Each structure stands twice: as structure tokens, then as C-alpha cells.
């Protein structure tokens, strides 16, 4: 059974710091990996989708990498801002678009 773990569970940083969120998964036979953010009381917003043939994806200040062989993905956020405060979720996609979600990292960026 696929298990997805995110470390740390919570992170508090001052504005301007660069930070890394980690995601690990037990079964490397995945199609894709997707990173989301979730604001309180809201749904999930897709940030980046990395296909299994890719090693990384970038969007603005966000960069996500994928190492299938080691079962790891990282989300790098450059020059963090208070508006980045949210819960970040990674999800692996294994067969027919079936998402298995990680436990989430709650990020707080203080001004």
C-alpha cells in the first residue's frame, strides 16, 4: 500500500527565507506527483505537476523536484511571503489518476 509522508508537519519562518518542504513515498512505481496548497476553509489549489519522466518543474518562486528511485520529492519556495502561509500537500498518482495524499506541511510565514 502506498504511503506518503511529509516532513516537517509544521514550519514557521520569517518573511524572505528560502525553504524546502519534503515528501516521501514508499512505492516508486508512480505516474506523476502533484503539489497543492490548501488555505483554511478552502479547497486545494494545484501548484505543480511533475510527470514521472521529469525531474523537476518550476512556476514562479516555486520549484519541485522528483526522484522516483529514492521515493522523494521536494518543494522549494524562494523568498517566502506571508501570502505563502497555507498547508502544502503532495500527492502521488498511481494508475488512472488515483491520488494518494501526504500528511501535509502547515507553513506560516511571518512578516
Partner 1 sequence: DAGVIQSPRHEVTEMGQEVTLRCKPISGHNSLFWYRQTMMRGLELLIYFNNNVPIDDSGMPEDRFSAKMPNASFSTLKIQPSEPRDSAVYFCASSSEQNQPQHFGDGTRLSIL
Where do contacts with partner 1 occur on this chain (CB under 8 A)?
31-32, 34, 36, 41-46, 49, 51, 89, 91, 96-104
Q: Closest CB to partner 1 among 11 and 49?
A: 49
∠ at Cα 56 (37, 47), nearest 5°?
20
Q: Closest CB to partner 1 among 42 and 61?
A: 42
Q: Closest CB to partner 1 among 31 and 76?
A: 31
Task: Tell me the closest approach of the beta carbon of residue 56 to partner 1, in angstroms.
Answer: 16
Q: How far is CA 80 from the centre of its chain?
A: 15
9 CB burial (10 A radius; 0-12, 13-18, 19+): exposed
User: What whole-number distance in Å separates Cα of residue 16 and Cα of residue 33?
Assistant: 27
Taking a C-beta distance cutoff of 8 angstroms, is the pair 50, 58 a contact?
no
Q: Closest CB to partner 1 among 6 and 65?
A: 6
Amino acid at each position: 500500500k502506498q504511503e506518503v509522508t511529509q516532513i516537517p508537519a509544521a514550519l514557521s519562518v520569517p518573511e524572505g527565507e528560502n525553504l524546502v518542504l519534503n515528501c516521501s513515498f514508499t512505492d516508486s512505481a508512480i505516474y506523476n506527483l502533484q503539489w497543492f496548497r490548501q488555505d483554511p476553509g478552502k479547497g486545494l489549489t494545484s501548484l505543480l505537476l511533475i510527470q514521472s519522466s521529469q525531474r523537476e518543474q518550476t512556476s514562479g518562486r516555486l520549484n519541485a523536484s522528483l526522484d522516483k528511485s529514492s521515493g522523494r520529492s521536494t518543494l522549494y519556495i524562494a523568498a517566502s511571503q506571508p501570502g505563502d502561509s497555507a498547508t502544502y500537500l503532495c500527492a502521488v498518482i498511481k494508475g488512472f489518476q488515483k491520488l494518494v495524499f501526504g500528511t501535509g506541511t502547515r507553513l506560516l510565514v511571518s512578516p
